[in-house]
Amino acid sequence: MVEKSKMSVAEQIDRAHQRIALGVLLVAGAYFISVVKFFVTPQVSGILDIASKVLGVATIVLVLPSFLKFVSMRRRNREACREPEGFVIEMFNKATSTAFKATFVFLVFLEIVSTNFIADMPGEFFVKLIMTVTLAVFSVTFFILNRSVKHWEEEGDETVAGRDA
């Protein structure tokens, strides 16, 4: 593993994006808890409130250091941070696009289901449900793409090593 002090700007930006994606998954979990609270008793709802707050604090602890480091790095070296390149940023953009597409499909599905099954739910329920789906799809897509790239890179390394031997 590369030491933090020896990481390039692109690697530091990639790491920040990875932490942001994990933070987004935690926020999706908090929204999911908010959706579940519509279906549980007040006692369970109190426990879920605590769990939601824990997820919020975990998100801040996870993302804030990377964000602050990125802001300070950008002040010191504005030119290097202008157009970051890398697989992680490309995956971030692909995950964003996939989340948008999935949200649109989910909205169509929700329109059909809501008229027949959950029509009596308040608007807040639907907003939180949509946010849960959007954020979860983004984060999960990002990590699937990240995993597939790492797998591809590992296979490529083995192939190259096999030829050199």
pLDDT of 34 over the 90 cut: yes
Over the stretch 51-69, which tens digit does the pLDDT of each residue have?
999 999 999 999 998 888 8
pLDDT of 77 over the 90 cut: no
For the four alpha carbons of 76, 81, 86 and 88, in that order, the dihedral sign comes to positive
Contact 11, 111 (CB under 8 A): no
Contact 139, 22 (CB under 8 A): yes
pLDDT of 41 reads 93
pLDDT of 132 reads 96
Over the stretch 90-145, which tens digit does the pLDDT of each residue have?
888 899 999 999 999 999 999 888 887 777 889 899 999 999 999 999 999 998 98
Which residue is it, tokens 């290097």? 80
Choice between 129 and 87, residue whose per-residue pLDDT is larger: 129
Which residue is it, tokens 């030829």? 163
Averaged pLDDT, 12-41: 90
Q: What is the mean pLDDT of the chain?
A: 82
Q: Tell me the C-alpha distance between 128 and 109, whole Å.
A: 16
Domain boundaries, the chain: 4-164
Q: Is the whole-model pTM more than 0.75?
A: yes
pLDDT of 1 over the 60 cut: no
pLDDT of 5 reads 58
pLDDT of 164 over the 60 cut: no
Contact 30, 52 (CB under 8 A): yes
Choice between 148 and 155, residue whose per-residue pLDDT is larger: 148
56's CB contacts (< 8 A; 6+ apart) are 26, 27, 30
State how far the alpha carbon of 24 is from the alpha carbons of 3, 20, 34, 84, 160, in Å. 25, 6, 15, 21, 36
pLDDT of 104 reads 95
pLDDT of 160 over the 60 cut: no
State how far the alpha carbon of 61 is from the alpha carbons of 7, 45, 57, 58, in Å. 21, 24, 6, 5
